[in-house]
Chain A
Amino acid sequence: MLMNMQNDYNRFRQIIKGKIKQNLRKYISNGEMIGRKGKDLISIPLPQIDLPRFRYGDNGQGGVGQGDGEPGDPLTQGEGEEGAGQAGNLPGQHIREVELTLEELAEILGEELELPNIEPRGKKQIVSEKDRYTGIRRVGPESLRHHKRTFKEALKRQLISGQFNIEKPKIIPIRDDYRYRSWKTISHPESNAVIIYMMDVSGSMWDEQKEIVRLETFWIDTWLHYQYKGIVTRYIIHDAQAQEVDRETFFTVRENGGTVISTAYELCSKIIDKDYSPEEWNIYAFHFSDGDNWSRDDNQYCVEILESQILPRVNMFGYGQVESTYGSGEFYDYLEDYFGEHDKVILSHIPDKDAIYDSIKDFLGKGK
């Protein structure tokens, strides 16, 4: 009987996915796996996957026999006496790690959180071209010679011409038999997308709050990368001033300045103006803060920028308010008063890491 490895492998992947789904809430609120992220793969520590194995009984401790007993007495080994034992000195079980592609992870996320696929806005689609080796030709470079097809042609020729001897099978291709791989250029319509992340790095945003943002953005990134090919990510940090930074700086920078949120919204609007025409791009903006804006006037100014400059151009604006050591500021309430019913604005409270799971659902659950 032929063993099909692919079936076993697929079954194994299904088991892994099932385990990850079961523990997804834990993975989402635990940053461990993000540290293991490679370019395209991510390692996930799984507590245990039980592989089927034989279990042996207690051999050598007697066999079938007769003795004292009544009908119905159990035949199992007697229970040992309880007592205090010494602590073990052997290493514990190793946690198995499995590698998943980010695409697989996004699929799991989508299934578990029941996320709808995103419908790109009715924008001009950008066509990208890719070469695929899908055809066969009679001419081509030797490096692209298709050996199987070449020998097949040679066999056909020898059979037709009667040169093939079944007693002494020998196939010798001639020049006419040679076949080469050839490519076709395939056009793919793609919707381009950009995510603009903004984070408050003022003095009241401590490492714990930034870690929440880091975890949240990882999952948003994973989902949006799965939904769009060719996605671009931009990062803005702000305290009393805003600046664009790279990803590394975004998650590590520490400032102790005040909080003026409007500076980030102004910069976000400028970046959209300069680089991302709403006609061609699906634009996502996310802002994370503890909501302790320095002044109420600035809250009002933020609302104005959002209303006039950002919201008309983005697919979605997400605001996640994390809770600082002292609590959560009033910016969330301010936005809720103005944009509570707005189609493009999604607000989410993230008091701690456990709330990230629900927050991701808030942000991505509308299929924007």
Chain B
Amino acid sequence: MKYSDLIIRKIQEAKQKQITIKQKDKFSVLQHQEDDLLFQVKFKDIDKYGIVVDYISIQKLSPILDVDEINRRLEQQADAIQKRITYLLEDFKLIEIDRMSKRAQLRSYPPYKKENSKYFYEIVLDEGVKIHFQRYQYSMDEKRYEKITSQLTLEIFARLIDDLVEIIQ
């Protein structure tokens, strides 16, 4: 079974049984460990067509110890994201890569502009073993960022989970 199928099944089960591991701000957070991977998905709702997801976080539990190896992995992962995750209507671009704190930040480019706001996805890579996906809205009037949900079809969500897993591994 693919990781994506497993996660979707877990989320649906959680919704049906109304069992959530944590409940916060009307959102549910699924936390699930499978093999060497820890999944965290904060979601608002799911049905048979799609999911309203706040963030997806996947962490490989065995750390990489060599700094050069981490930085090499960060570059490879950033490159893979830009090439593979092209189905969200916005392509990704590497914005910053910080070799000291071993982090990389990618954002969808160009950000989608609607009225007085800009919308974009962000993926943060941490130490070569953690990947975090989130969507943001920037209000040009209020001049501040806000985390917002992504509304994805289950097919896209599944593909995203599998791609992120493959990239982190």
Residues of A within 8 A of B (CB): 202-204, 239-241, 256-260, 294, 325-330, 332-333, 349, 351
B42 within 8 A of A: no
Complex formed: what's the CA distance from A239 to B105 in Å?
Answer: 13
Give the chain A neighbours of B111 by CB distance below 8 A: 325-326
Give the chain B neighbours of A328 by CB distance below 8 A: 138, 143-144
Number of A-B contacts (CB under 8 A): 63
Residues of B within 8 A of A (CB): 94-101, 103, 105, 107, 109-111, 118, 120, 136, 138, 140, 143-145
Distance to closest chain B CB from A199 (angstroms): 15
Would you call the interface of chain B mostly helix, strand, loop, or mixed?
strand
Complex formed: what's the CA distance from A333 to B103 in Å?
Answer: 24
Give the chain A neighbours of B107 by CB distance below 8 A: 326
Please pick, from A204, A258, A325, A329, the residue contacting B101 in the complex, using a CB distance under 8 A: A258
A-B contact list, 20 entries, CB within 8 Å: A202-B96, A203-B94, A203-B95, A203-B97, A239-B98, A240-B98, A241-B100, A256-B97, A258-B96, A258-B97, A258-B101, A260-B98, A260-B100, A294-B101, A294-B103, A326-B120, A327-B140, A328-B143, A332-B143, A351-B140
Complex formed: what's the CA distance from A289 to B99 in Å?
Answer: 20
Give the chain A neighbours of B120 by CB distance below 8 A: 326
Given A239-B98, A257-B98, verify A325-B110 contact (CB < 8 Å).
Answer: yes
Q: Are A258 and B105 in contact (CB under 8 A)?
A: yes
Complex formed: what's the CA distance from A330 to B143 in Å?
Answer: 9
List 10 additional contacts besides A204-B96, A257-B97; criterion CB under 8 Å.
A239-B98, A257-B98, A259-B96, A260-B100, A294-B101, A325-B111, A326-B107, A326-B120, A326-B136, A327-B145
Q: Which residue of B lies closest to A258 (CB)?
A: B98
Q: Which residue of B lies closest to A327 (CB)?
A: B138
Complex formed: what's the CA distance from A275 to B107 in Å?
Answer: 41
**Residue among A326, A330, A349 with the most chain B CB within 10 A?**
A326
Q: Are B95 and A204 in contact (CB under 8 A)?
A: yes
Q: Are B98 and A294 in contact (CB under 8 A)?
A: yes
Give the chain A neighbours of B144 by CB distance below 8 A: 327-328, 330, 333
Distance to closest chain A CB from B82 (angstroms): 13
Q: Are A257 and B143 in contact (CB under 8 A)?
A: no
Distance to closest chain B CB from A345 (angstroms): 18
Complex formed: what's the CA distance from A294 to B102 in Å?
Answer: 12
Q: Are B109 and A325 in contact (CB under 8 A)?
A: yes
Complex formed: what's the CA distance from A329 to B107 in Å?
Answer: 14
Please pick, from A204, A240, A349, the residue contacting B100 in the complex, using a CB distance under 8 A: A240
Q: Are A257 and B140 in contact (CB under 8 A)?
A: no
Complex formed: what's the CA distance from A331 to B65 in Å?
Answer: 32
Distance to closest chain A CB from B25 (angstroms): 20
Distance to closest chain B CB from A349 (angstroms): 7
Complex formed: what's the CA distance from A210 to B29 in Å?
Answer: 41
Please pick, from A203, A325, A333, the residue contacting B105 in the complex, using a CB distance under 8 A: A203
Given A294-B101, A294-B103, A325-B109, verify A256-B143 contact (CB < 8 Å).
Answer: no
Complex formed: what's the CA distance from A349 to B141 in Å?
Answer: 12
Give the chain B neighbours of A203 by CB distance below 8 A: 94-97, 105
Give the chain A neighbours of B143 by CB distance below 8 A: 327-328, 332, 349
Complex formed: what's the CA distance from A152 to B99 in Å?
Answer: 78
Give the chain B neighbours of A327 by CB distance below 8 A: 118, 138, 140, 143-145
Complex formed: what's the CA distance from A332 to B144 in Å?
Answer: 10
Complex formed: what's the CA distance from A204 to B107 in Å?
Answer: 10
Please pick, from B94, B103, B138, the residue contacting A326 in the complex, using a CB distance under 8 A: B138
Q: Which residue of A lies closest to B98 (CB)?
A: A258
Give the chain B neighbours of A332 by CB distance below 8 A: 143
Q: Which residue of B lies closest to A329 (CB)?
A: B145
Q: Which residue of A lies closest to B111 (CB)?
A: A326
Q: Which residue of A lies closest to B109 (CB)?
A: A325
Complex formed: what's the CA distance from A257 to B144 in Å?
Answer: 22
Distance to closest chain B CB from A335 (angstroms): 13
Complex formed: what's the CA distance from A333 to B107 in Å?
Answer: 23
Complex formed: what's the CA distance from A349 to B144 in Å?
Answer: 12
Give the chain A neighbours of B110 by CB distance below 8 A: 325
Complex formed: what's the CA distance from A333 to B142 in Å?
Answer: 11
Complex formed: what's the CA distance from A244 to B100 in Å?
Answer: 19
Q: Which 7 pairs of residues, A with B, have the shortest CB-CB distance?
A: A258-B98, A327-B138, A203-B96, A203-B95, A240-B98, A258-B96, A240-B100
